[in-house]
Every structure is written in C-alpha cells, then in structure tokens.
Structure 1
Amino acid sequence: MADFSKPNMPRFSVDVYQNEYLPEGGREVNAVVTVTATGGGTLASAVAAPHLYSPGAGPSAAVAVMVDCSGSMDYPPAKMRGARDATAAAIDTLRDGVHFAVIGGTHLAREVYPGDGRLAVAGPTTREQAKQALRRLSAGGGTAIGTWLRLADRLLSSVDVDIRHGILLTDGRNEHESPQDLRATLDSCAGRFTCDARGVGTDWEVKEVTSIASALLGGADIVADPAGLAADFTGMMETAMGKEVADVALRVWTPVGTAIRFVKQVAPAVEDLTGRRTEAGPRAGDYPTGSWGEESRDYHLCVEVPVAGLGQEMLAARVSLVVLQPDGGTQNLGAQGLVRAVWTDDLAASTSIDPQVAHYTGQAELAHAIQQGIDLRKAGDMDGATAKLGRAVQLASASGNADTARLLSKVVDVVDAATGTVRLKAKVAEADEMTLETRSTKTVRVKK
C-alpha cells in the first residue's frame, strides 16, 4: 500500500471546467475534470539511472514481460531477434529491487525466467541471468494470450508490492482460445495489474490488442518494424518505473434525483469508464483509472439532473480521488472538485459550451469516426468509409490534432480539411491503416 505520509509521494489535485448554466427545463450537465499528480520526484533519478537507485526509496513494484513465441515469430526471423533485444532492453531499464519475470507465450505459457513460480529481484546478477535466458527463446506453437495473462497474474500476485505491471507483445491473432475465454481472463485480471500491449508486424488483430490494453488500463500501439521494438520497450518500461500509486479511482457522488450518463477519460486517450463503476456507498461510485506517476489526465463527466426553477442552483456531482485497497477499503487522496448546475433565462449564458467540453466531445467523435471509417472500408463500403474518414479529417484539423491528421493522410487524399472533403487512397499500406486504427483514441489536449 502506498504511504502518502512520505514527502516524495505525489500530491493529487482536481480542477473542474464547465458551463454551469442551464436553460429553463435543462437537465444535462457536462464537465471536464482534470486530475493532476505532482511532486513524486523520487523516481526521476531511478528512470535515468536504475542501477544507482535505492530500492527502498520508492514504491515496491513487480513486472511481467510476456513475449510471443508462436511459430509466426520466425517469419521473418527479425521479429524474434527484435523481441529478444527489446526484452533485454526492458530488463536493463528495471530499477534495482523491482520483482520481475519473463514469460514465453504460445498456445501455452512458459516461465522463461526465473522459473519455479517465482519472481526475480532486479540487480546486476539477475539482469544478466535473464538476458542469458532470453537467448534460448525460440519460435514454435500457437497463440493463446489468455494463458499468458493468467500466468502473469499468478506471478505478479505472489509478492506484496504497490505496483503490478505487465508488458505483452504479440505478432498474431489469438487463434488457440475462444474470444469468450480471453474475455473471461481479462475480466478476472482487471484491477489486479495494469498491462501495456504491443502488436509487432501487421498480422495481428487491432481490436484484440487494444481490448487487452483497455481492460487492463494500459496503452496499446503498433510496432510495424521489429527494429523499433527495443526503443518502444525501453519507453514502456521507463513509464512503468515512473508509476508511484496504483489502483486510483475517480469517486463520483451525486445527490438524490440525479443520474450519471457517462464518465470517460478523454486525455491522453479516449476510454469509456461508465460500465466499470463499482458502488461506493449511498449515491457514490468508483471508476478505475489505474496506476499514476507524475502526470495529468482529463475526464468528461455527464450528469442528468432533475428540473429546477429559474435562479435555482444545485450541486450536480462531487468528484474525489481514492486509492482502492486489497482488503476492499479505500484511502482518500484529499482532492475534490464540484460540478454545479444553475438555471437561468440568460440565453447567452445557457447556450455557451465550455471550450474544454466542446474540445473533448470533438475528440471522442474523431476516434469513433476513424474506427467506423476503417470498419466500413474493410467491409467494402467505400462511400461510407469516405464520409466517416472525411469527418475525421475535419475534426482533426479543427482541434489541432496534428498526429492523427498525419496518420489519416496516409489513408485518404485530403482535398479540403476544413470541409472534410477527401478521397480514399487506391492503395494503403497495411501498417498505415493499422497504425491509424490503433492510435485512433489518442487525443490532443486543449489549452486551459
């Protein structure tokens, strides 16, 4: 359990951005809630020089790296080489004192290092032993990702640590277990550890990889060229080593007569948390946000309130932060924000849309339009795909999301970004389409 009495632990703050004014009869209140963690600084030196770091200074952590070893990893052989090199680079990035394991994944899950159902403790000797073990990794067999995750869960839960994290690499489709089995595994692992997922090459299924990261509150991405794996794994591990508080939840309390329509993370990526609510007492619910380092994220909260008379006002929601404890209890982080509703006959006030809310509503629509456009293109509906991807280009341009605009330009020829006039490219590299789909939920933040 994180000790918030330590001076080096991060401090959390909550800021609310909204237009609190509603017209007569208005019932929908929207707000963007910015959560910021600052002042955790102890781990900056650990990420820069993990071997010089004092193991007792930061939160305890355990990491499991799951490497696809199915037969397809040998085609081309650069994939298996890249996976070995990337895992070695990730192991070098572990700070001293972190528990870790390497899992080889096929239609079964195998403990590559250290074995015997244990986790190793990072240090000069164990790092070298792990890298020696990686040299024996070879490709052969099928793919059943659920077995990899279940083994990772068993290993990570075998030690009493603050942070539990997985890194998963696959190059193919999950062909040796049913989608229902994988879903059941994700449901059982959710809340037990976070996991970043990567697809290497172009023979894997985007929705499978992104669903793994989404369920386990991690990030997903494509590494089309195996040569880029080492840099990507190093970056992922540096981020994991920077986490200082696990199992943070957004607690939303609403008064009698109100209802939560949705709670979504909207930056740095769109993630709908509405269905993940767990009850937390009378009229309160917790929405999981995963592990935190020194960072800031934005959430869009939509609340339905009962109708009130002109001039009246009410507290529509109170947002706070808690850490979920293994015993089912919670620790309050002391930060909160208030969402208000005020009824007015001032037309200018009640029809104004808060810039933060407007921006992130557009970013959520952008992500949805991209996913719809790609699905329509795959289904052969070129007119529908053109319309959706054109709308995506228009939204990306209007919001200043240059990264997404650049990815879209590899799939469509942009005639006029402002109006969303585009033409589908006759030939699209598979890696470009998969990159757009995988990164479609990444957002650009609005300037406060």
Structure 2
Amino acid sequence: MVTFSSDVSQNEYLSEGATDVHAVVTVNAVADEAGAGAVPGGPTGAGQVGAGPGTAEVIIIDSSGSMGGKKIIEARQAAAVAIDTLPDGVAFAVVSGDSSARVVYPTSGTGLAEASAATRSAAKDAVRGVQADGGTAIGQWLTLTRSLMTTRPGAARHAILLTDGQNGESEQVFAAALAQCEGVFQCDCRGVGADWRVSELRRIASLLLGSVELLRTPEQMADDFRAVVAAATARAVPDVTLRLWTPRGATVRFLRQVYPEVDDLTGRGSDVDERIRDYPTGAWGAGTREYHLCVDVVPGPVGTRKLAARVTLVADDTRLSESLVLAVWTDDADLSTRINGKVAHYTGQAELAQVIQEGIEARTRGDEATAATKLGRAAQLAAETDDEGTLRRLARVVDIDDPATGQVRLRRNIDALDEMDLDVSSTKTVPAKR
C-alpha cells in the first residue's frame, strides 16, 4: 500500500494587476505493509492505493561491435545481476540490440516470461550467448521493447537501456520510434564510456520518464543495474497522472518537475476538457517529487482571493492527493514582493541545469566566451545553494576563481568523461532547505 499526500509552497499575494502565480507542489508517497486495494483520498488530500496489476521489466543490452571485449563481458554480468534482482512474478525479457534487435529471452521471442527460479536461471544462460557485432539502431531496440510491453496492459512497465555509442538511425526513424514508445513504458538509460551522446540518451529518458547516468567503466554496470531494477520493481502504482485544473482565461506558462530532477512537463499535457489537462508522471513507489507551476490568471481587484489552480494526483480514477494554488491581490508591497523560499530555490535549480548544458554546448562549438559566461553563472548558482557536488564537477571543467561572482576560466585539457559527468548531472537537483 502506498499513501500519498501533498502540499503547496507559494506567496499567494500579488500586486495590483499582476497575473503570474508561482507555486511549488510537494508530493510525498509512503509505502507500508498494508494489504492491496484502492482507497480514494479523503478531504485532507491524502489517499492510498494498493499494489497495481503487476510489473513488467525489459533489459536492453547494446551488443554492437563497439561493445566487444570487456564491455560485453560486463554487460552480460550486469544483465545476470538484474535478472537475479527480479522478484518472483515480475514479467520480464532481455533484448539484445545492434543494427537490429532480438529477444534473447524468453526464447519464444514473443511476450514476457514470469520471473521464477527456473526462468531466471534460463534467462542467465541465454544472456551468456550474447556477442558483440554490428551497428547501433536504438530506435529498433525501443520498438521491439514496446511490442513486448504491450502484452502487459496496466502493469508498471519499465526498461533499462545500456549503450556505449551513438545511434546510427536517421532522425526521422528515431523520432518515430520514440513517439510510438511514449506513454507505453518508462526507460532508464545508461551510457558506458565516453563515446555516447548525453543529449541523445537524455532525450529518450525525458520522453519516457526515466533517468540517464554515466558509467565511467564497465565494472560499474552490475551494481547500477541491480539498483535500477530494484527501484523499478518497487514502484507499486503505475501510470500516475498529475491533473491540473485552471480557471477560465488562465494560461499554464510552465509545469516542470524540479525534484529530484528537472524535467519540463509543459508540452506533454493532454486535454481532459477546456480547463483540465493531464500530465504523465509514470509509476510511483515511496519517495518525494516536487513540481514548479506557473499560471497566468485574469487579475482581480485589490482584496480579491481566487483559486489559481487545483493540482490533483490521479491513478486508475483514484484521487491520490490534491493541492490548491491561490491568488490574492493586494496593495501592500511588503506582502506582494516576498519571494517564497522553495519557489526561489527551484527557479535557481532549473536555471542551473540550463546554463550548464548551454555552457557545454558553447564549448563544443568553440564559443569560449559564451561557455565561460554560462559555466560561471552555474558556479554562482551552485555556490548560492551550497551544491557541493555540482561545484566539484564544475571544477574539473573550469578553474573557479570566484564562485560568488561567477568568475571562471575554461580549462584547456579536460577529461571527456568529466564534461559528460557534469552534463548528465546538470538536471539533478538538491532539495530546498527547510
């Protein structure tokens, strides 16, 4: 059983004529040992939901020629570890991908197997035969995974994708494959070594509601796969939707997840009616997620108090939590100019992710002045929030002379893995201080 609750952080006071309302919605999910069954949320905005109709897991291994030698050996071991991590009853398959894609297990090639001692053993035997050869066609790997996942409607469907290279398909083919997979399953992406593109795997992970990580060495694969699969199979509530109601005349300027990672959801909503849009958030287990919402509303006279948005978490027609975003117009400048701490914090975290990525892109195209400006701003933002992890990663790419003012100098010789690590980690956020 998972229990959900939510609350809002905002300054609800607006100056006369102001239209933009900012709020951070914090959603907490707590797992317990209670029995299954769904219980709609009550007036407090908290709700419980029991175990869903099962979990489906597909392990996707890059078996292209560049994975030869130690990489493919460690990839086979990582897949075996992931298979051993699967609880009994989880539906699963292993896919091998090069310039095409094939189902390694189950050997029937169609559908998914049910995890048990026997099927886990058989799957590991099959994985030992995976060899490295050919090119890289990630769209085909994802398309095959989609066909497997559709045999388990209603399940919490998750894949982990490992690659060491760049996709060789045309943009048209790749984009079409991604579009077909959106909403069908979630996908965590892992890149090993320095020859893959962060932006490419981030594109997959963002669209498929997953994460992207850098594995510097093949030896890291097994522990990472174990952790990813354990987390995925613990998510008991599939297909959770963030439902956003706004009043007549209002416009959603943006909606983005801001913790534990920055991910813009603004363009992913689907209309329920003229005032309600649903945004996918994927499967949930225990944990906390935070969302920054900005809505433009029709202003009211001084003294007016109105509902600017209603944020509801929904799964299988069950209301899991609900929060209200308010707007109050005032002529008291002291009230209207206060900035809520959480809103300010996550505004900075979103900017931090953006300037790091822009700085790396500028450096790649040889625009050193822009790169230094952007990465200097990143150092400044990281220092303001005591984000020591980001400061450490930045210090491997630039010399930080004064983080308070953003004074940095680009390093001439840097390890490509250090730059990739900074890029990958740019979207990971630190929580706001209480």
| Contact residue 40 and residue 244 of structure 1 kept, 8 A | no
- Residue 246 of structure 1 is matched in structure 2 by 238
- Residue 188 of structure 1 is matched in structure 2 by 180
- Residue 124 of structure 1 is matched in structure 2 by 117
Q: Give, as a single letter, the amino acid of the residue that structure 2 aligns with 1:63.
A: E
| Contact residue 51 and residue 236 of structure 2 kept, 8 A | no
- Residue 214 of structure 1 is matched in structure 2 by 206
Comparing 13-22 with 151-160, greater Cα deviation is found at 151-160
Please, which of 368, 373, 381 is the counterpart of residue 359 of structure 2? 373
| Contact residue 52 and residue 237 of structure 2 kept, 8 A | no
- Residue 390 of structure 1 is matched in structure 2 by 376
Deviations along 1:59-78, one digit per CA (max 9) or x if unpaired, are 5111111100000101xx11
| Contact residue 400 and residue 444 of structure 1 kept, 8 A | no
| Contact residue 12 and residue 333 of structure 1 kept, 8 A | no
- Residue 141 of structure 2 is matched in structure 1 by 148
Q: 2: distance between equivalents of 1:264 and 1:431? A: 28
What does 1:25-64 correspond to in 2, within 5 Å?
Answer: 25-41=17-33, 59-64=53-58
- Residue 427 of structure 1 is matched in structure 2 by 413
| Contact residue 31 and residue 285 of structure 2 kept, 8 A | no
Structure 1 residues 411 and 129: alpha-carbon distance in aligned structure 2, compared to 1, 3 A threshold: same
Runs of 4+ in structure 1 over 3 Å off: 40-43, 56-59
Q: 2: distance between equivalents of 1:42 and 1:152? A: 33
Q: 2: distance between equivalents of 1:303 and 1:216? A: 25
- Residue 52 of structure 1 is matched in structure 2 by none
Deviations along 1:122-179, one digit per CA (max 9) or x if unpaired, are 111111111111111110011111111111111121134521111100111101x112
Q: Give, as a single letter, the amino acid of the residue that structure 2 aligns with 1:25.
A: G
Deviations along 1:207-227, one digit per CA (max 9) or x if unpaired, are 111111111001111101111
Q: Give, as a single letter, the amino acid of the residue that structure 1 aligns with 2:221.
A: L
- Residue 5 of structure 1 is matched in structure 2 by none
Deviations along 1:82-123, one digit per CA (max 9) or x if unpaired, are 111111111111001111100000111011111221311111
- Residue 215 of structure 2 is matched in structure 1 by 223
Gaps of 5+ in 2: 36-49
* Residues matched between the structures, number: 419
- Residue 333 of structure 1 is matched in structure 2 by 319
- Residue 101 of structure 1 is matched in structure 2 by 93
Q: Secondary structure at the match of 1:249?
A: strand
Determine whether 1:409 maps to 2:395. yes
Q: Give, as a single letter, the amino acid of the residue that structure 1 aligns with 2:385.
A: S
Q: Secondary structure at the match of 1:383?
A: helix
Structure 1 residues 212 and 22: alpha-carbon distance in aligned structure 2, compared to 1, 3 A threshold: same
| Contact residue 320 and residue 336 of structure 1 kept, 8 A | yes
Structure 1 residues 87 and 137: alpha-carbon distance in aligned structure 2, compared to 1, 3 A threshold: same
Q: Quote the offset at 1:58 in angstroms.
A: 6.9
Determine whether 1:321 maps to 2:307. no
Determine whether 1:197 maps to 2:183. no
Q: 2: distance between equivalents of 1:409 and 1:207? A: 22
| Contact residue 77 and residue 222 of structure 2 kept, 8 A | yes
Normalising by structure 1, report the TM-score: 0.91
- Residue 67 of structure 2 is matched in structure 1 by 73
Q: Secondary structure at the match of 1:203?
A: coil
Q: Give, as a single letter, the amino acid of the residue that structure 2 aligns with 1:371.
A: Q
Q: What is the alpha-carbon root mean square deviation over aligned residues?
A: 1.5
- Residue 299 of structure 2 is matched in structure 1 by 307
Deviations along 1:295-347, one digit per CA (max 9) or x if unpaired, are 11000000001121111111101111112xxxxxx513242111011011111
Q: Secondary structure at the match of 2:400?
A: strand
| Contact residue 62 and residue 161 of structure 1 kept, 8 A | no
Q: Give, as a single letter, the amino acid of the residue that structure 1 aligns with 2:332.
A: D
Q: 2: distance between equivalents of 1:290 and 1:89? A: 25
Q: 1: distance between equivalents of 2:153 and 2:64? A: 32
Normalising by structure 2, report the TM-score: 0.94
Q: 2: distance between equivalents of 1:223 and 1:447? A: 30
Comparing 19-28 with 419-428, greater Cα deviation is found at 419-428
Q: Give, as a single letter, the amino acid of the residue that structure 1 aligns with 2:157.
A: R
Q: Quote the offset at 1:246 in angstroms.
A: 1.1
| Contact residue 146 and residue 182 of structure 1 kept, 8 A | yes
Determine whether 1:436 maps to 2:422. yes
Structure 1 residues 178 and 336: alpha-carbon distance in aligned structure 2, compared to 1, 3 A threshold: same
Q: Give, as a single letter, the amino acid of the residue that structure 1 aligns with 2:275.
A: R
Structure 1 residues 195 and 36: alpha-carbon distance in aligned structure 2, compared to 1, 3 A threshold: same
Q: Secondary structure at the match of 2:58?
A: strand
Gaps of 5+ in 1: 1-8, 44-55, 324-329
Q: 1: distance between equivalents of 2:31 and 2:77? A: 34
- Residue 327 of structure 1 is matched in structure 2 by none
